Chains A and B, each alone.
Chain A
Amino acid sequence: MIKAGNPSPQDIEAELPLTEATTFILLSLSVEPRHGYAIIGDVAALSHTRIQLSAGTLYGVLKRLLSLGWIERHDDPAGAREESGRPRKVYGLTALGRSILSGEVKRLQQVVQAARHCQLGGLA
């Protein structure tokens, strides 16, 4: 597990590649902190409904990301409440999470570049 602060590129590379669900969740949180149900909707929108997260799967991933220190959880600053009356919790990306996401995006860009290169060479 990487310590929060200033992770080295090697530290970040060791965590990659991310699963598709993790990548989309981090992408969703990179825009603004969101609550669980909003993440499900946003991930579905970002992936053009290809990824439909269930509540069980989402919270399994969120728990793991929290333990890794890539995201953080706090009460909704707007003071919103769930239907049950409980204060709504929102999840936001930490600096470490942002570095990991940047690393993953760079990796995916390299993959895309490589694919384009192969296509231009007539291999794909």
Chain B
Amino acid sequence: MNASDRLLLRAYRAILRLYPLGFRHDFAEEVADVFTAILRDSAALGCPRRWRLIVCEFIDAVRGLIREHQRALLAPAFDPKAPPTRVGLARDVVAFALTYTLARAAAQAWMVPDIVIYLCAGMLIGTLLSHRLGRRPYRVGFILGGMLVFAGGMFLTDLAGALLAIGLGVEIHLVVALTWITEPLMIGALAGALLGLADRSRRRAAGLTGVGLLGFSGGAVVASLFSVLLWGLLQAVDSYRPGNTGIPSDWVAQGGRWLQVVVFPGVTALIGGAVLGRLAKAPPRRWV
């Protein structure tokens, strides 16, 4: 093989690298081998015929690239033969819970805008979607899409809350406090809805929205009980301190704040995320 053929082969391989991962994994080497054979055998042809053949191969490689991405996008969403791994889902759910908790704590401590939290929550939705769809080439796209959808959804919820506060004269503090409840519920509902839509079924989307909602509601209830239990434990420990005057110590007050800011969102996200992770792993028919 001469230098120009080697260059052509490199250019052809560069196009093959842009194909979806599944195709690349199964066929890229074979396609490159066939192209090498075509280069070798076409050397016997006249120059114009050879170059016409090579140009056709390149054009078809680009057309195939578009076609394979199109197929990958329109392929059936869930592959029961290769469901997402438990370890992968657990890793993503824990990462989400940590990120969400940190973002919530940061929002409380340094007035980080809520949009940061929404984007973190959107990451979970996108990550679970990419697991369910099992299309690694689009993983980043799904994560960004999930972030945008969730941030948009939460923005609309906040807007509705603010309009409600203005229209009905409800205290804005009450609306803000309600965000603590609406936010995880929105994560559950939106993630469930998107997982259902990924299966291309409106009925399933409705069912999964309910399951997501229940998952995060359940998570919030357990997190509340857990926080109350810990709060009681802190107070009990504090009551045994020498010189107790009945007024809680500063560290108990601080502990209560940590429970609200860190433990509550953390436990909610972990439980809700685990439910959604289960959804992302289960074949569609088992859920709705």
Chain A residues with CB under 8 Å of chain B are 36-37, 40, 52, 54-60, 62-64, 82-84, 86, 89
Interface centre among A36, A37, A59, A64 (most CB of B within 10 A): A59
B37 CB contact (under 8 Å) in A52, A57, A60, A83:
A83
CB distance from B80 to the nearest CB of A (A): 13
Question: Which stretch of B63-71, B106-114, B116-124, B259-267 is in the interface?
Answer: B63-71
Indicate if B156 sits at the interface (CB-CB under 8 A): no
Interface residues of B in 13-68 (CB under 8 A from A): 23, 26-27, 29-38, 40, 56-57, 60-61, 63-65, 67-68
CB distance from B68 to the nearest CB of A (A): 7
Closest chain B residue to A84, Cβ basis: B33
Instruction: Check if B36 sits within 8 Å of A83, measured CB to CB.
Output: yes
A59 vs B31: C-alpha distance when bound (angstroms)? 7
Instruction: Check if B60 sits within 8 Å of A55, measured CB to CB.
Output: yes
Known contacts A82-B33, A83-B37, A86-B33, A63 near B27 by CB under 8 Å: yes
Instruction: Check if B64 sits within 8 Å of A56, measured CB to CB.
Output: yes
CB distance from A106 to the nearest CB of B (A): 29
A55 vs B38: C-alpha distance when bound (angstroms)? 9
**Size of the chain B interface, CB-CB below 8 angstroms:** 24
Interface centre among B29, B37, B56, B65 (most CB of A within 10 A): B37
Given contacts A57-B64, A59-B30, 8 further A-B contacts (CB under 8 A): A37-B34, A56-B60, A57-B60, A59-B34, A63-B23, A64-B71, A84-B33, A86-B33
A82 vs B57: C-alpha distance when bound (angstroms)? 19
Instruction: Check if A58 sits within 8 Å of B37, measured CB to CB.
Output: no
What 3 pairs across the A-B complex have the smallest Cβ distances? Answer: A56-B64, A54-B60, A55-B34
A37 vs B37: C-alpha distance when bound (angstroms)? 7
Instruction: Check if A56 sits within 8 Å of B57, measured CB to CB.
Output: yes
Instruction: Check if B33 sits within 8 Å of A58, measured CB to CB.
Output: no
Instruction: Check if A84 sits within 8 Å of B29, measured CB to CB.
Output: yes
Closest chain A residue to B16, Cβ basis: A56
A83 vs B29: C-alpha distance when bound (angstroms)? 11
Chain B residues in 8 Å Cβ range of A36: 30-31, 33-34
A55 vs B39: C-alpha distance when bound (angstroms)? 12
A84 vs B35: C-alpha distance when bound (angstroms)? 12
A52 vs B36: C-alpha distance when bound (angstroms)? 16
Instruction: Check if B37 sits within 8 Å of A59, measured CB to CB.
Output: no
A58 vs B35: C-alpha distance when bound (angstroms)? 11
Closest chain B residue to A82, Cβ basis: B33
Known contacts A56-B57, A56-B64, A59-B64, A84 near B31 by CB under 8 Å: no
Chain A residues in 8 Å Cβ range of B26: 63
A11 vs B37: C-alpha distance when bound (angstroms)? 38
Instruction: Check if B60 sits within 8 Å of A84, measured CB to CB.
Output: no
Q: Could you show 27 A-B contacts with beta carbons less than 8 Å apart?
A: A36-B30, A36-B33, A37-B33, A37-B37, A37-B38, A40-B38, A52-B56, A54-B60, A55-B31, A55-B34, A55-B35, A55-B38, A55-B60, A55-B61, A56-B31, A56-B63, A56-B65, A59-B27, A60-B64, A60-B67, A63-B23, A63-B68, A64-B71, A83-B36, A84-B29, A84-B36, A86-B33
